[in-house]
Chain A
Amino acid sequence: MTTDALMNGTVAGASRVVALEGPAGPRPKRITASRVGIYAFLIIMAIFFCIPLYVMLVTSFKSMPEVRQAHLFDLPHEWTIEPWIKAWSYACTGRDCTGLSPGFLNSWKVAIPSVIISIIIAQLNGYALSFWRYKGANIFFNLLLFGAFVPYQVLVYPIIMGMRGLPVVTDWIAGWFGLDFPQWQLFSTLPGIILVHTIFGMPILTLLYRNYYSSIPIEIFKAARIDGAGFWQIFFRVMLPLSIPITTVALILQVTGIWNDFLFALVFAGRDNIPMTLQLNNIVKTTFGTIEYDVNMAATILTALVPLAIYFISGKWFVRGIAAGAVKG
């Protein structure tokens, strides 16, 4: 597409130079009323989409007296980063005044293991489902696909009960064999919330990897088989190196998904592992007298920063992740 070349100035400049040498490059367009209309519409929509971010940003740099003047769209008269400092390090949630910073750490504590585990599992699933389909494998795959559509609220309570029941079961087994097991407490613990994210990341990621591996020519697999490679050897030597692009998509999808999660954190995280989104909720919903909009807005932007950074850095990969996650193959 020629428009792709036009997207950044340097390339557009280069194409103009080429145009001098011969009839190449895009044809100059006349400015018509409809062109103006198209741009006007797009720019108005773009402004609408930017408003919330803009308003949050300017509010977060204002002091409270200025916020109360209700000039929502004005730039701050006196810029202050105090709300940001407060939001990060000493905004209060109930009795604790720690700000968002512990939530930031907790979010990574939850996200990193969940992402790694769920990607490994999904890779193996996709690989097995594409090349080593055993009898009944598709039943489980279809169950997973079904799981991608089920509202989370349907599963929350049974999972709570499962987690509560696990220590009872392990104790019983331990007693039976006369062993001394450690308590397998999952509910409201870090392993528990990691497990939940792993479970709910599995459907989409498995679908992602299965579709990706299915698109790899079967000849590659057959060649490896003829060379005598087995299940694991093909996986580690052939498939893993091939799956770097799709793993990038999976990483983006999972990290943003887990970072933005609120429901599971609310139910499963427990007091010691409150991730950033939930911490934000606790700060915003804690009010002593007046609501500190400036601090709240700074906290909101801080929470959104990681997924936004991922989005702006990853660009087209992000879009691909959404499309791949949504399309049922």
Chain B
Amino acid sequence: MAEATATAATQISTHRPRTRPRMKVASVIATLPMIIIAFSVFFVAILFTIYWSFTSSGMFPGWTWVGLKQYNILWGTNNWQISVSNIFVFGAASLVINLVVGYVLAVFMDQNIKLESLFRSIFLYPFAMSLYVTGLAWQWILDPNLGFQNAMQNFGFTDFRFSPLSNPNQAMVGLILGGCWQGAGVTMAIMLAGIRGIDAEIWKAAKIDGIPTWRTYVSIVLPSMRGALATAIILQVTGIVRTFDLVISMTGGGPGIATWMPAMYVINAIQSKLNVGQGSAAATMMLAPIAVLLLIMAIFNWRKARLAGKNVTT
């Protein structure tokens, strides 16, 4: 819908009589903060980070070009290797769980539920809380001595074991749990909007063809709500790459270095180790997944634009 209005606006703008230059000047002046910030922060600053990643910068940014040396050091560092594998595990698991749980919740919410707004409020309230607060809450629940595990043991399940945060091999489970708890409701809300946006005729057609309801949801509804899916995925992926607060509050990167994340590596390199070159190299690596995401989106938009163009000509 937004696409449609945007194209409509551009079409109108071509027909619009030329505005006086004086007015354009006012427009430029009004958007001066945008011009300055877009250029200096979202362009120049990124270039600086990328440039510093190729220099021998230590405590202060330097200008001595050392090629890929920082990247060699980076990929040879244990903390970084663990960070990268962690972000992939965390990212893949929380993305999948989030989308599945979000969609299933949305489907159940779509069944003419009484008290729908109450359920919606409950599923969505975690998103109002910061990831930092989320991390603290789950850290407390998963506390090996006083948390969920002991509560269950006190109930009589004396063999019950679930304390992922104290085990380096399982600590990621705790993070994924916390992350999904915080984000699944949003995915649900977006998916529900997507489901509700689907043409009622499709439902009628499916009913007439005798397709079972669950099958309609999986094979017809899901593929036809690409917009909602894309929104949910983009929101998730950008959040996942940034993962920082949750780790700091929940595990602090531990036990040991078991739950380090790239974002943590960057901040640690800049703030504690005072190693600008390493921080910049790691930060530049963090740009890679975003670049891939943007590339996919660009291809997607380009294809859509091309298809739309064809429709107009025929």
Contact = CB atoms under 8 A, between A and B. Distances in A.
B45 to A, nearest CB: 4
A307 B105 contact: no
Contact of A3 (B116, B134, B242, B267): B116
Contact of B147 (A2, A72, A304, A323): A72
Interface string B32-60: 01110111111111101100100000000
A153 B17 CA distance: 44
Contacts of B126: 49, 52
B6 interface: yes
B203 interface: no
Interface string B135-156: 0111011010111101100100
Given A132-B24, A157-B276, A149 B294 contact: yes
21 contacts: A48-B181, A51-B141, A52-B137, A53-B125, A56-B140, A59-B140, A132-B24, A143-B42, A149-B294, A153-B286, A154-B49, A157-B49, A158-B41, A158-B48, A262-B131, A304-B128, A304-B133, A308-B128, A322-B235, A326-B235, A327-B231
Nearest to A207: B2
A211 to B, nearest CB: 5
A90 interface: no
Interface of B: 2-3, 5-6, 9, 12-13, 19, 23-24, 26-28, 30-31, 33-35, 37-46, 48-49, 52, 61, 105, 108-109, 111-134, 136-138, 140-141, 143, 145-148, 150-151, 154, 181, 185-186, 189-190, 193, 227, 231-232, 234-235, 238, 241-242, 244-245, 248-249, 262-263, 266-267, 270-271, 276, 279-280, 282-284, 286-287, 290, 293-294, 297
B306 to A, nearest CB: 18
Given A67-B146, A147-B38, A322-B127, A153 B26 contact: no
Nearest to A278: B132
A300 B287 contact: no
B283 A154 contact: yes
B23 A327 contact: no
B129 A277 contact: no
A55 interface: yes
A124 B189 contact: no
A95 interface: no
A115 interface: no
Contacts of A16: none
Interface of A: 2-3, 6-7, 35, 38-39, 41-42, 45-46, 48-53, 55-56, 59, 67-68, 70-73, 121, 124-125, 127-130, 132-134, 137, 140-141, 143-144, 146-162, 199, 202-203, 206, 211, 214-215, 218, 230-232, 235, 256, 259-263, 266-267, 277, 280-281, 284, 293, 296-297, 300, 303-304, 307-308, 310-312, 315, 318-319, 322-323, 326-329
A162 B143 CA distance: 42
